[in-house]
Amino acid sequence: MVTQASFRDRKDAGQALAKEIDAFAFENPVVLALPRGGVPVGFEVAKALGAPLDVLMVRKIGAPGHEEYGIGALVDGAAPQVVIDEDAARMAGANQDYIDMQIARQLAEIERRRALYRTGPAISLAGRTAIVVDDGIATGRTVRAALKALARARPAKIVLAVPLAPDEVLPELEPLCDQVICLASPFPFYAVGMHYLRFDQTSDEEVVRLLAEAKLWEKPGVRETEAN
């Protein structure tokens, strides 16, 4: 268990998280990373487990003038799922016109990323342990939306695994998954990036490269059920 409140970078966080996850010996795991920052972390986890890596397309809906503060999230799917924290939206001064505009904007970004990141069908989750990975949690609204949407795919088990998150947020997420793995809960908790020594923005190019590299250990046929 990591006791320090910070990590060198996302690779370091992913390697530390992988050691913790490996101890549980989850059956038939698949790693679902939240792009973009969660992908370098998820890559290290998938590499250590020899598990397939995919992305869970979710976009934060940020507050007016302060987009890092999430008031909700949008999750990709046949019927995209929108989750809005009404109290947070009201306090941030986000009216319905603003929210609708943000939903349209984030849908367009999800479509752009889907076209860029995926060269084939998504990995089938039936009977698998879905391990959801991000580089950290702040308010929890983005990952909460992701977990709710993921439940519709009916994986055998849902595990949320992150390097760090505030203590007060984790209990709100526990009912949405089968297990939560969090290495550190710094106090006081600042923005996620403040707890990394290096927190450069993850580029589209890096995401594409890591997803392609992860396919080198992906077993044949893992996507076939989704292709039909």
Do the domain assignments include residue 88?
Answer: no
Report yes or no on 92 lying in a domain: no
CATH number at residue 46: 3.40.50.2020
Residue, of 27 and 120, whose pLDDT is higher = 27
- Is 118 a member of any domain? no
φ, ψ of residue 57 to 5 degrees: the values are -75, 105
Q: Is residue 101 part of a domain?
A: no
Q: Is 195 a domain residue? A: yes
Sign of the alpha-carbon torsion through 96, 101, 106, 108? positive
Which tokens in the block code for residue 200? 């450069």
Report yes or no on 116 lying in a domain: no
Residue 224: pLDDT band by 50, 70, 90 thresholds? low
Q: pLDDT tens digits for 43-99?
A: 999 999 999 999 999 998 999 998 878 898 898 877 788 889 899 999 999 999 999
Q: Taking every pair of C-alpha atoms in the chain, what is the biggest distance, in angstroms? A: 49
**Residue % of the chain over a pLDDT of 90:** 70
Q: Is residue 204 part of a domain?
A: yes
| Structural domains counted in the chain | 1
Q: In angstroms, rounded to a whole number, what is the distance separating the alpha carbons of residues 62 and 99?
A: 9
- Does 171 reside within a domain? yes
Expressed as residue numbers, the domain containing 28 is: 10-58+123-227
